[in-house]
Amino acid sequence: MSDELFTLAAATSGAPAAAPFGRVSVAMVTPFLDDGGLDLEGTAALAEKLVADGCDGIVVGGTTGESPTTSDAEKDLVLRAVLEAVGGRARVVAGVGTYDTRHTGELAQAAQKAGAHGLLVVTPYYSRPPQEALYQHFTAIASATDLPVMLYDIPARTGVPIATETLVRLAEHDRIVAVKDAKGDVFASSEVMARTGLAYYSGDDALNLALLTHGAVGMVSVVGHVAAAEYAQMVRAVDSGDLPRALGLHRRLIPAVRGIMTRTQGAIMAKAAVELRGVIRNRTVRSPLIPATDEQVAQLRADLAEAGLA
C-alpha cells in the first residue's frame, strides 16, 4: 500500500494523523521446519493470516522472531517473503537492532534494499551504553538509510532505558518517527508524547489499553498473533471514545496475555498459540530457547478458551 493510501486510511478511520507503522502490528514469530531450517512457505502463510485477522503492520526479525539465532541471510529471506506476501496491504518493518552500530547499519541498509517500509532499532543490549552513546547510535542508524525508524525501548532486556531527554533529542531527527515502548513507565511515555511528535506503540500487551488512552497510536503485539481482530476493535473503541468497550476487550484478553507472556518466554508461547490454530506446522524454536511442553500447550489452550480465542 502506498504512503498516500495509508494516510487516507488513517484519515477515514478516525486514526491519529501520525501512525507511520499502522495501528495493530504484530512482532511476528519466524516459522521453522522440523529440522530448524526456515519455513518460508509458513512465513508467508502466517503473514497472510495476520493481515486477514486485522493487522496493518508486521515486524519481522525482532526478538519474537528469534533474531539472535537467525543469520543476516535468513533475516533477508524472511523479510522478502513477508513483503511479497503482504507488503501491499500492511507496513512491513524490519528489526535490525544489535549491540554493534556498524552491524546494525549494515542490516538497515540490507532491509532498505529488500524493500522494507521501516526499521525497528532496539537499544543496544548487554554493553549498557550511556545516554550520549545511545543518541549517537540511533542517529547513526537513522542516517544510514532513507527509511523511517521506530526506536525500541525495553530496558528489562537491554539493561538501559532510553531516557526522556534522550528521546526528546532523538525526535529532532527527521527519520526517527516512532517508539515501541516496553519501558513500563506510562508517565514517562506520556511526557515524551506531550513533548514530541513521536508516534508511540505499546510494546507490552499488558499495557496496550493504558498506552492507547495516554495517546499511543497503536501496538506492536505478541498476543496479536491470535487476537489481532480484538486489538483492532480496541483501537477503534479508544478512537471513538468508547472506553467501556475498550476496557471490556482488555479484560477479556487478560487470560491470553497471561498465557502467552507470563508462563514462559513469549516467542515460545506465541509459536505454540499459532500452532494450536493450525497456522504453522510446528512450534520449533532454536536453542537456547526450547519448545513449549505438552503441559504448557494444554494450559495455553485453556487460557485462550477463557479469553474467547479458542
Whether 253 and 223 have beta carbons less than 8 Å apart is answered as yes
First to last CA, the chain: 31
Backbone angles phi and psi of 185, in degrees to 5 = -125, 90
Q: Name the pairing type of β-strands 149-153 and 118-122.
A: parallel
39: pLDDT strictly greater than 70? yes
Q: Which one-letter amino acid corresponds to residue 192?
A: V
Q: How high is the pLDDT of residue 245?
A: 98
* CA 137/CA 148 separation, integer angstroms: 15
Q: How high is the pLDDT of residue 143?
A: 98
53: pLDDT strictly greater than 70? yes
- Any idea which residue has 554493553 for its cell? 127
Give the active site residue among 49, 75, 135, 180: 180
| Residue 177 marked ligand-binding | no
Backbone angles phi and psi of 215, in degrees to 5 = 115, 0
Whether 257 and 310 have beta carbons less than 8 Å apart is answered as no
Q: How high is the pLDDT of residue 267?
A: 97
Domains and CATH numbers, the chain: 24-242 (3.20.20.70)
Give the active site residue among 125, 152, 200, 201: 152
Q: For 66-109, write each residue's pLDDT tens digit.
A: 999 999 999 999 999 999 999 999 999 999 999 999 999 999 99
Q: How far is CA 187 from CA 69, 181, 211, 218, 219, in A?
A: 34, 12, 10, 17, 17
Mean pLDDT of the chain: 94
Q: How high is the pLDDT of residue 166?
A: 98
Average the pLDDT over 251-264 and give the result. Answer: 97
- Helices assigned H by DSSP within 90-185: 101-114, 131-142, 155-158, 164-170
Average the pLDDT over 270-293 and give the result. Answer: 97
| Residue 64 marked ligand-binding | yes
Of 246, 164, 171, 167, nearest to 212 by C-alpha is: 246
Q: How high is the pLDDT of residue 21?
A: 97
180 carries an active-site annotation = yes
Q: For 115-163, write each residue's pLDDT tens digit.
A: 999 999 999 999 999 999 999 999 999 999 999 999 999 999 999 999 9
Backbone angles phi and psi of 181, in degrees to 5 = -105, 110
Q: For 160-179, write each residue's pLDDT tens digit.
A: 999 999 999 999 999 999 99
23: pLDDT strictly greater than 60? yes
Q: How confident is the model at residue 18 (pLDDT cuts 50, 70, 90)?
A: confident
240: pLDDT strictly greater than 90? yes
Q: How confident is the model at residue 241 (pLDDT cuts 50, 70, 90)?
A: very high
Neighbour count for residue 37 (Cβ, 10 Å) = 10
75 carries an active-site annotation = no
Q: Which one-letter amino acid corresponds to residue 284?
A: T
